[in-house]
C-alpha cells in the first residue's frame, strides 16, 4: 500500500518529543493510527541522536506473549538502555490486559517517552484522565483530508479530484480496490466488524439490531436537527417502544468511538447553548454509501458533512448557529478566531443564494462570514461575505 507522510499529525508528535506527557493517538478504526506511529518511528531513527526504540505492535503475532501487564512491563524494562533516549511505542495497547497499569508504571519511572494507539472504543478521549495518572497529550487523527487524497493519487485536476473524493472518502484502506463496489464492501466490513463490534463488546450491547437501526438513521439524517426523543419515536414506529435513555446511551457510544461527531446548537444573539436538538456528522461519508447506498444522493448534506469534519480536523470547536429562528450551518471557533459558515451544493440559483446569505447578513458582529459551495470559481466577496468553492477551500 502506498504510504504518504501525514505532515500535520507528524508535526504534532515531533513537537512533544521529550515531554513527560503520555502521548495518545486516537481516532476511528483504520484511519491511519498505526501507520502514523510507524512514520514517527522512522523520523526518530533519522533525526534523533542516541535513541533506543521499544516498539510493540499487538497486531503482530510475535507480541502475543506480552498481553499480560507484567509480561509487557518486564519486556520494556529488559529493553531499556540507560545511556540512551528511550522511546516506547505501543500499537493497539488495549490488547494487553490492565494496560493502563503498565503505562502508569512506566510514566512514574520518568525514563521513557511514551506513545500509544488503541481501539477507539477502548481508549476513549473521555477516559484518558481516569485511565492514566500522568498528563496525557491526545493526538486526534481523522481519515484522509482532501489535500491528502490529492497527494495520494497525485491528481492535478482539483475539480475532478473533488468529485472522486466525495464518492471515495478518506478511508485510505479502500483505495487499494479498483471499483466503488469493492471499496464500499471493504468499508462496510470495517464499519460493521470493527466499529460496531468494538462498541458491542465494550458496552455489552444485546440489542445489536437497534444499534444498526440507529446507525442507519443517523447516516440518513446527516445535518438534520435531531434529539434522542425524536429518534426513539421514529425507530419505535410499528415496533416495540424504545426509550429515550437507551437511544441517548447508544448515541454516546457511537460518538465515543469516533463514528459520529455531535455538534451542539448555539444561539448567536443570546450567546447560549440550546438543549434537546443537535446535529450528528459521520466521520467519513463513504461509510454511509457502504451501508445504505448512493441512491438519492443529497450533495448539500454530504458537502456539509465534509466541511464539518475538515473544520474539526483543523482544530476548530464547532457549533450549529441559530439567529432569529434561522439556522447557520456552523459557528467555528479557535481561540480568538470565529467564523460563520453556510454550506450549499449549488448557489447559481438566485433564490438559493439569497437563502444562504440572508442569515449571515443579519449577524452584526465583525467576525468573518463565509458561504462554501460548489462554485468551481476562485473566491469572491458579496457584501462582506466570502463566497468560496468547496474544493478550493479544502485544498487551502
Counting Cβ atoms within 10 Å, is residue 11 exposed (0-12), middle (13-18) or buried (19+)? exposed
For the packed helices 158-168 and 299-313, what is the interaxial angle rounded to 10 degrees?
A: 90
Alpha helix positions (H), the chain:
7-15, 33-47, 69-78, 99-109, 128-131, 146-153, 158-168, 180-190, 197-203, 208-220, 228-235, 244-256, 286-292, 299-313, 350-361, 390-395
The pLDDT of residue 143 is: 96
What's the CATH fold of domain 7-140?
Rossmann fold (3.40.50)
| Contact in structure between 357 and 326 (CB atoms under 8 Å) | no
The pLDDT of residue 126 is: 65
Could you list the pLDDT tens digit for every one of the 396 residues in the chain? 678 889 999 999 999 999 999 999 988 888 889 999 999 999 999 999 999 999 999 989 999 999 999 999 999 999 999 999 999 999 989 889 999 999 999 999 999 999 999 766 666 666 777 788 878 899 999 999 999 999 999 998 999 999 999 999 999 999 999 999 999 999 999 998 878 888 898 889 988 999 999 999 999 999 999 989 999 988 888 677 888 899 999 999 999 888 999 999 877 776 666 667 899 999 999 999 999 988 878 999 999 999 999 999 999 999 998 887 788 999 999 998 999 999 999 999 999 999 999 999 999 889 999 999 999 999 999 999 999 999 999 998
Give CA separation, 218 vs 21, 234, 294, 298, in Å.
Answer: 36, 12, 15, 14
The set of cell numbers assigned to 366 is: 465583525
The pLDDT of residue 55 is: 97
Q: Which among 114, 106, 152 is positioned nearest to 19, based on CA atoms?
A: 114
| Contact in structure between 348 and 387 (CB atoms under 8 Å) | no
Tell me the domain boundaries of the chain.
7-140, 146-395
State the sign of the Cα–Cα–Cα–Cα dihedral 38, 43, 46, 49: negative
Which residues fall within 8 angstroms of residue 272, CB to CB, at 6 or more apart? Answer: 266
For the packed helices 158-168 and 180-190, what is the interaxial angle rounded to 10 degrees?
A: 50
DSSP 8-state symbol, 226 = B
Strands 326-334 and 317-323: antiparallel
Strands 380-382 and 337-343: unpaired
CA–CA dist 32, 54 (Å, integer): 20
DSSP characters over 44-98: HHHH-SSEEEEEEETTSGGGGGG-SHHHHHHHHHHT--TTSEEEEEEESGGGSTT
Give CA separation, 319 vs 37, 228, 235, 300, 384, in Å.
Answer: 31, 18, 26, 18, 22
The pLDDT of residue 323 is: 80
CA angle 288/359/384 to nearest 5° reads: 105
CA–CA dist 260, 226 (Å, integer): 14
Amino acid at each position: 500500500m502506498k504510504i504518504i507522510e501525514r505532515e500535520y499529525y507528524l508535526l504534532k508528535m515531533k513537537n512533544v518529543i521529550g515531554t513527560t506527557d503520555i502521548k495518545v493517538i486516537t481516532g476511528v478504526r483504520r484511519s491511519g493510527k498505526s501507520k502514523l506511529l510507524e512514520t514517527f518511528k522512522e523520523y526518530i531513527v533519522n533525526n534523533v541522536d542516541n535513541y533506543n526504540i521499544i516498539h510493540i505492535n499487538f497486531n503482530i503475532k510475535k507480541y502475543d506473549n506480552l498481553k499480560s501487564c507484567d509480561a509487557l512491563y518486564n519486556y520494556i524494562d529488559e529493553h531499556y538502555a540507560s545511556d540512551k533516549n528511550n522511546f516506547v511505542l505501543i500499537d493497539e495497547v488495549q490488547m494487553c490486559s490492565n494496560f493502563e497499569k503498565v503505562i502508569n508504571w512506566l510514566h512514574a519511572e520518568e525514563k521513557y517517552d511514551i506513545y500509544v494507539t488503541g481501539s477507539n472504543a477502548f481508549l476513549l478521549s473521555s477516559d484518558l484522565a481516569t485511565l492514566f495518572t500522568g498528563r496525557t497529550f491526545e493526538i486526534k487523527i481523522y481519515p484522509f483530508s482532501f489535500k491528502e487524497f490529492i497527494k495520494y493519487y497525485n491528481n492535478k485536476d482539483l475539480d475532478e479530484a473533488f468529485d472522486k473524493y466525495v464518492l471515495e472518502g478518506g478511508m485510505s484502506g479502500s483505495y487499494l480496490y479498483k471499483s466503488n463496489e469493492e471499496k464500499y464492501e471493504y468499508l462496510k466490513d470495517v464499519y460493521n466488524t470493527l466499529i460496531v463490534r468494538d462498541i458491542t463488546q465494550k458496552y455489552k450491547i444485546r440489542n445489536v439490531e437497534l444499534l444498526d437501526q440507529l446507525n442507519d438513521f443517523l447516516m440518513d439524517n446527516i445535518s438534520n436537527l435531531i434529539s434522542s426523543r425524536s429518534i426513539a419515536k421514529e425507530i419505535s414506529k410499528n415496533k416495540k417502544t424504545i426509550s429515550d435513555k437507551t437511544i441517548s446511551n447508544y448515541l454516546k457510544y457511537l460518538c465515543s468511538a469516533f463514528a459520529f461527531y455531535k455538534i451542539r446548537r448555539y444561539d448567536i444573539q443570546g450567546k447560549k447553548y440550546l438543549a434537546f436538538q443537535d446535529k450528528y456528522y459521520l466521520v467519513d461519508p463513504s461509510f454511509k454509501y457502504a451501508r445504505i447506498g448512493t441512491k438519492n444522493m443529497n450533495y448539500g448534506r454530504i458537502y456539509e458533512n465534509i466541511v464539518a469534519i475538515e473544520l474539526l480536523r483543523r482544530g476548530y470547536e464547532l457549533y450549529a448557529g441559530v439567529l432569529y429562528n434561522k439556522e447557520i450551518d456552523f459557528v467555528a471557533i479557535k481561540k480568538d478566531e470565529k467564523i460563520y459558515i453556510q454550506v450549499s451544493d449549488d448557489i447559481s440559483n438566485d433564490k438559493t443564494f439569497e437563502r444562504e446569505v440572508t442569515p449571515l447578513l443579519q449577524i452584526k458582529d465583525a467576525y468573518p462570514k463565509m458561504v462554501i459551495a460548489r462554485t468551481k470559481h476562485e473566491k469572491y466577496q458579496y457584501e462582506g461575505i466570502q463566497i468560496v468553492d468547496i474544493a478550493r477551500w479544502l485544498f487551502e
